[in-house]
Amino acid sequence: MHDATREAVEERTRHWLEANYLSAVANLHDPQHGVYDAAGRPRNLTRYAFQEVQRKLKIFRWLDRLTFSNFIDIGSGFDQYPNLVRARYGVPAYFSDFAHSMNLPYGGAEHGKLDHAITLNIARLPFADDTFDVVLSSEVLEHLVRPVDAIAELLRVARKCLIMTSLEALSASAWQRVLSHLRVDVRQPHVERNFFLLHELEAIFARDWRHENLFYDADLPASGFASAGAQEEAYRSLRDVDAFAAALSRAVTVTDHRPGAMGILIVKAKPDTEVRPPFPDDHALARWLIEQTARAQQVGYRLVEQIRKGTAPFAEPDRPIAAQLLSLVRCPDCRERVEGAGSGVRCTACGTVFAGEYGVPILYPTREPSAPAAEEECLQRLCGGDAGRRRIVRRVRRRLRRNERPPGGVRQLLWRLLG
């Protein structure tokens, strides 16, 4: 019998993420296969690599409109947003992920994770309210077992602004949403399992939310419906930084959800947060992101080579949690302050001890509130006393709790037919 409980799904996902991350690091050998050459010019550009930078451009267009003093990427995975934020805005920026291997400070301080990474579960974030001015969670929403509760947690710890992206989570219609749900094989770890309509997301985030698409097909270098060969030729033809930056600037011109638009970027600014007007020209930002992405590729290849030769710098495994990081984190069970305990931390209120490794605290919750209490906390944080929004959000939340039920006969039959 397939175990669909939250704990079982999360455990399978964690192991899958760990294995894939370690495999990717182990197989990153030949710089000749990289997207950028030694001078930072694109040479093996693909649709995926283009859209990876395009997503960053979408996000940083919003970050440029904010003033903030710290930042966290929750579900940072392979991405380097905290390093980019630190370089561009000069503020403390933190990595965090469910998969512990992704948080480890390989290569020491150069890679930005040393004393700036936390292993956590988004369902119960180990931070006090309003800990971070800006919270980013990119390409995470679609994978979560309890996505509505996670959004409430993300908003809880964001003092000024929450930014989220998802290529898969927005459905064009209720019928498409049903079909998407039926097709998803929830037995697979890290599968895209959550689908929303715009009015449901508006009920979750309230009417003052802002949103735009992630990609608009007509403005990409090649349509996603073109042949594989035509797409490859179009992207590989962008062989200098200015041409790449110009294509990126064109690709973010259309921001609404018209036919041909894909995905969603969500911006929820808290009350009294100043959001400045957008800059009229994206070319300089696009060029900077290309240069930073090329640099990150070079640093990554250099680190892998050092690891293979045994010359890579590593933090000591029993490194204590840094004082600045310790001041930010809280017990994920009771949300009270923690203190250092060897290489880990201890809650000063409930006494629970959490392990740490290489200076990274591992703050998975060990218990959770009762189901009624969790639902009420979620609804209160998202909707307050708005009865209409509460009805919609409660319905969405309970519909998506299907993620914790064994799949029914209709879905299993569809999987066999599609398989």
In the chain, where are the structural domains located?
6-309
> pLDDT value at position 6?
73
> pLDDT value at position 110?
75
Sheet order of strands, 338-341 included? 338-341, 344-347, 353-354
pLDDT tier at 31, thresholds 50, 70, 90:
low
Lowest-confidence segment of 15-19, 331-335, 372-376 by average pLDDT: 15-19
**Do 326 and 309 meet the contact criterion of CB atoms below 8 Å apart?**
no
pLDDT tier at 325, thresholds 50, 70, 90:
very high
Is a pLDDT exceeding 90 seen at residue 162? yes
Identity at 330, one-letter amino acid code: R
pLDDT tier at 300, thresholds 50, 70, 90:
confident
> pLDDT value at position 194?
92
Name the CATH code of domain 6-309 (choices 3.90.120.10, 3.30.230.10, 3.40.50.150, 3.20.80.10): 3.40.50.150
pLDDT tier at 12, thresholds 50, 70, 90:
confident
Q: Which residue has the higher pLDDT, 298 or 312?
A: 298
> pLDDT value at position 309?
80
pLDDT tier at 237, thresholds 50, 70, 90:
very high
Give pLDDT tens digits for 188-224. Answer: 788 888 999 999 999 999 999 999 999 999 999 999 9
Burial class (CB in 10 A: 0-12, 13-18, 19+), 106: buried
Q: What is the 3-state secondary structure (H, E, C) of the chain?
A: CCCCCHHHHHHHHHHHHHHHHHHHHHCCCCHHHCCECCCCCECCCCHHHHHHHHHHHHHHHHHCCCCCCCEEEECCCCCCHHHHHHHHHCCCEEEEECCHHHHCCCCHHHHCCCCCEEEECHHHCCECCCCEEEEEEECCHHHCCCHHHHHHHHHHHEEEEEEEEECCCECCCHHHHHHHHHHCCCCCCCCCCCCECHHHHHHHHCCCCEEECCEEHHHCCCCCCCCHHHHHHHHHCCCCHHHHHHHHHHHCCCCCCCCCEECEEEEEECCCCCCCCCCCCCHHHHHHHHHHHHHHHHHHHHHHHHHHHCCCCCCCCCCCCCHHHHHHEECCCCCCEEEEECCEEEECCCCCEECEECCEEEECCCCCCCHHHHHHHHHHHHHCCCHHHHHHHHHHHHHHHHHHCCCCHHHHHHHHHHC
Q: Which residue has the higher pLDDT, 115 or 415?
A: 115
Is a pLDDT exceeding 90 seen at residue 319? yes
> pLDDT value at position 407?
73
> pLDDT value at position 419?
64
Global confidence as pTM: 0.94
pLDDT tier at 72, thresholds 50, 70, 90:
very high
β-strand partners of 123: none
> pLDDT value at position 187?
75
Q: Which two tokens stand for residue 123?
A: 């369902």
Identity at 123, one-letter amino acid code: A
Summary mean pLDDT of the chain: 91
- The residue-averaged pLDDT of 17-30 equals 69
pLDDT tier at 406, thresholds 50, 70, 90:
confident
Q: Distance between alpha carbon 101 and the CA centroid of its chain, in Å?
A: 16
Q: Which residue has the higher pLDDT, 183 or 376?
A: 376
> pLDDT value at position 178?
86
- The residue-averaged pLDDT of 336-360 equals 97
Q: Which residue has the higher pLDDT, 180 or 308?
A: 180
Is a pLDDT exceeding 60 seen at residue 70? yes
- The residue-averaged pLDDT of 376-396 equals 96
Q: Which residue has the higher pLDDT, 9 or 324?
A: 324
